[in-house]
Chain A
Amino acid sequence: MKINLIEYFEETAMKFPERTALVDGSSSWSFKELRSRSVFIGEVLANTYKRINRPVAVYLPKSNEAISIFLGTMYSGNCYAPLDAKAPMAKIETILKNLDPLCVITNTSLLPNLREINAEFEIINIDDLEYVEVSPPEIFRQCIDFDPAYILHTSGSTGVPKGVVISHLSIIDYMNWVVDTFGITEEERVGNQTPFIFDMSTLDIYLMIFAGASVFLIPEQHFIFPAKLLEYINEHHINLIFWVPSVFVNIANLRLLDSIKTPTIKKVLFGGEVMPPKHLEYWIQSLRDQNVIYGNLYGPTEITGTCACYVVDETFDPEESVPIGKPCRNTDILVLNERNELCEIGERGELCVRGSSLALGYWRDFKKTESVFVQNPLNTSFPERIYRTGDIVYTREDGQMMYVGRKDFQIKLHGYRIDLGEIEHNILSAFDTINAGVFFDQNKREIVLCYESDEEISIKEFRVKLSTVLSKQMIPTRYIRMESLPKSPSGKIDRSYLNDKINGNN
């Protein structure tokens, strides 16, 4: 029995040494090559720190090298925390202060950014390391399946991103399901879209580790120009993609599959946000002669990738929403109503998850962990954790679950999970003379800022300042100045009134 992810990687690398593991914009690495580089990093970390189960922050662009650092970190018995190389440094600083990593691994071109940060941490510049052939450090064998493998940061309502800690076990559990469900083999050629800070990339990376698949890190520019993206797919014979719906929507809106055929695609998976059924139908019709499997994979970072899945079958109706499906094998889903009872068919309730997929918790935040990883209210006999997702769903007659919305102020935009509270918090700190509320326009799919200020503030001024504290996808795109923001009797901003107004509900 294999108990940690490196044991899986070792087995795959021994089995397919010469096959291609990774391809990025500049190079192609075999499993043998990836293993030697990862082992080398593992040896450096193990020798330098001689500690296990501590985080190593990885501040690098998406590349083969970044994945070798992830693996190297696990070879040293530690867990990796990818950081967004495009995020404003104020955000990186907040994350690093909370993470308190063993070290931050970066390269020469990103190093100056880290020097701006006012916090103490060790930095390893990979460009300074002299590569040598070494054998794997033995230390990784001390890791058991309950130890952390990675920490991913998601938007938090108080302005501090939450570090979701995922164990080796959860990834093993997830990947066994993916490999079985979609019949994955070493013949798979995976076209990666999502950034490594985003948990959808877990599937891409670990298909390589678990099944010997080849992973192509598609240059980001191709997603700006989808015609180039389809050419890339054809050039590299990509047969499996797992992308956010907005990429599929973009290609469908441009009707690009009418003129560019992509005969190699066999498995089309999507997740991260709601897939519009009409656009999915365009894909199904366009690729109808090539026997493609479509899967809607649902699940928040806290349950490791996916907890429910809908494989498109004859029940799919382009006039209705795409179901989020049924629970994955070895995962149990409870839809609980406000009285914490199981919902009836058709009754709306909160989707809660039980199983090995549950995150260990939020890094250095026991309070937040305890608020959403809670005792299963249906079990009064022994301690048993469930994760409350905050997603509201209902179950159809045929057992398929349907997504309804959120019970809080979290939204999904281009696959990014965004807590409106985090935006608000940052805006109020950046502009101390205004009062403001942030809302999401469901129809136009844009973030709207309503503010109260003595002086008019230009959009440019807002955006320039906000781009130093917020990631681009979190910056509001519409700004409405109000004489005074509507208040509830208690004096707080009347959110539901403004929300209804923006979304045209009254």
Chain B
Amino acid sequence: MKENILSFLAEIRPECDFENSMNFIEEGLLDSFDIVSLVTSLDEEFKISIEGTDIIPENFANLDSIERLLLKNGAKR
């Protein structure tokens, strides 16, 4: 699942190094348009619909938190 997430991130911002980032949001790797694209891609890929109220900084800080978010919203590993 993490590889999937990473490949979407690489598609959206290929110039950023997500693997070595401690916090995607605090380090400014993702802006609002990136989050919109990422959520759309993740929704399609995992056939889920991430709740708007779950789109908060804590859930997009790193690969682990995004994975937890997907599982919480019903994504299958």
Determine how close the nearest CB of chain B comes to the CB of A372; give it in whole angstroms. 30
B31 within 8 A of A: yes
Determine how close the nearest CB of chain B comes to the CB of A245; give it in whole angstroms. 13
Determine how close the nearest CB of chain A comes to the CB of B61; give it in whole angstroms. 12
B57 touches A260 (CB 8 A): no
Complex Cα–Cα for A463 and B16 (A): 10
Complex Cα–Cα for A251 and B36 (A): 10
B15 touches A260 (CB 8 A): no
Given known A254-B52, A255-B52, A259-B53, contact A224–B15 (CB-CB < 8 A)? no
Given known A227-B55, A259-B53, A472-B31, contact A250–B36 (CB-CB < 8 A)? yes
A224 touches B31 (CB 8 A): yes
Complex Cα–Cα for A467 and B29 (A): 13
B32 touches A224 (CB 8 A): yes
**Chain A residue at smallest Cβ distance from B10:** A460
Which residue of the partner chain, among A225, A256, A458, A473, contacts B57 with CB atoms under 8 Å? A225
Which residue of the partner chain, among B51, B52, B55, B57, contacts A221 with CB atoms under 8 Å? B57
Which residue of the partner chain, among B13, B30, B56, contacts A228 with CB atoms under 8 Å? B56
B57 touches A228 (CB 8 A): yes
Set of chain A residues within 8 Å of B32, measured between Cβ atoms: 223-224, 247, 250
B33 touches A414 (CB 8 A): yes
Determine how close the nearest CB of chain B comes to the CB of A57; give it in whole angstroms. 24
A159 within 8 A of B: no
A345 within 8 A of B: no
B69 within 8 A of A: no
A225 touches B56 (CB 8 A): yes
Set of chain B residues within 8 Å of A226, measured between Cβ atoms: 52, 55
Complex Cα–Cα for A224 and B32 (A): 4
Given known A224-B30, A224-B31, A414-B33, contact A254–B25 (CB-CB < 8 A)? no
A119 within 8 A of B: no
Q: How many A-B residue pairs have CB under 8 A?
A: 49
Set of chain A residues within 8 Å of B35, measured between Cβ atoms: 224-225
Between A226, A255, A414, A467, the greatest number of chain B beta carbons within 10 A of the residue's beta carbon is seen for: A226
A256 touches B33 (CB 8 A): no
Determine how close the nearest CB of chain B comes to the CB of A324; give it in whole angstroms. 24
Determine how close the nearest CB of chain B comes to the CB of A419; give it in whole angstroms. 19
**Chain A residue at smallest Cβ distance from B52:** A254
Determine how close the nearest CB of chain B comes to the CB of A499; give it in whole angstroms. 23
Set of chain B residues within 8 Å of A246, measured between Cβ atoms: 33
Complex Cα–Cα for A370 and B53 (A): 51
Set of chain A residues within 8 Å of B30, measured between Cβ atoms: 224
B53 touches A256 (CB 8 A): yes
Complex Cα–Cα for A414 and B30 (A): 15
Q: Which of A441-478 contact B (CB under 8 A)?
A: 458-460, 463-464, 467, 472-473
Q: Which of B28-77 contact A (CB under 8 A)?
A: 30-33, 35-36, 51-53, 55-57
**Chain B residue at smallest Cβ distance from A260:** B53
Given known A223-B32, A472-B31, contact A254–B15 (CB-CB < 8 A)? no
Determine how close the nearest CB of chain B comes to the CB of A382; give it in whole angstroms. 48
**Chain B residue at smallest Cβ distance from A228:** B56
Complex Cα–Cα for A292 and B13 (A): 38
Set of chain B residues within 8 Å of A260, measured between Cβ atoms: 53
B15 touches A227 (CB 8 A): no
Complex Cα–Cα for A358 and B31 (A): 34
Complex Cα–Cα for A260 and B52 (A): 10
**Chain B residue at smallest Cβ distance from A258:** B52
Determine how close the nearest CB of chain A comes to the CB of B42; give it in whole angstroms. 13
A256 touches B52 (CB 8 A): yes
A227 touches B14 (CB 8 A): no
Between B13, B31, B52, B55, the greatest number of chain A beta carbons within 10 A of the residue's beta carbon is seen for: B52
Determine how close the nearest CB of chain A comes to the CB of B29; give it in whole angstroms. 11
Complex Cα–Cα for A411 and B20 (A): 35
A221 touches B25 (CB 8 A): yes
8 A–B contacts, CB within 8 A, in A order: A224-B31, A228-B56, A247-B32, A250-B32, A250-B36, A254-B55, A460-B15, A464-B14
**Interface residues, chain A, with chain B CB atoms under 8 Å away:** 221, 223-228, 246-247, 250-251, 253-256, 259-260, 414, 458-460, 463-464, 467, 472-473
Closest A-B pairs by Cβ, 6 of them: A254-B52, A460-B14, A256-B52, A224-B32, A463-B15, A464-B15
**20 extra A-B contacts, CB within 8 A, seeds A224-B30, A224-B32, A464-B14:** A221-B25, A223-B32, A224-B35, A225-B56, A225-B57, A226-B52, A226-B55, A227-B56, A246-B33, A247-B32, A250-B32, A254-B55, A259-B52, A259-B53, A260-B53, A458-B14, A463-B13, A463-B14, A472-B31, A473-B33
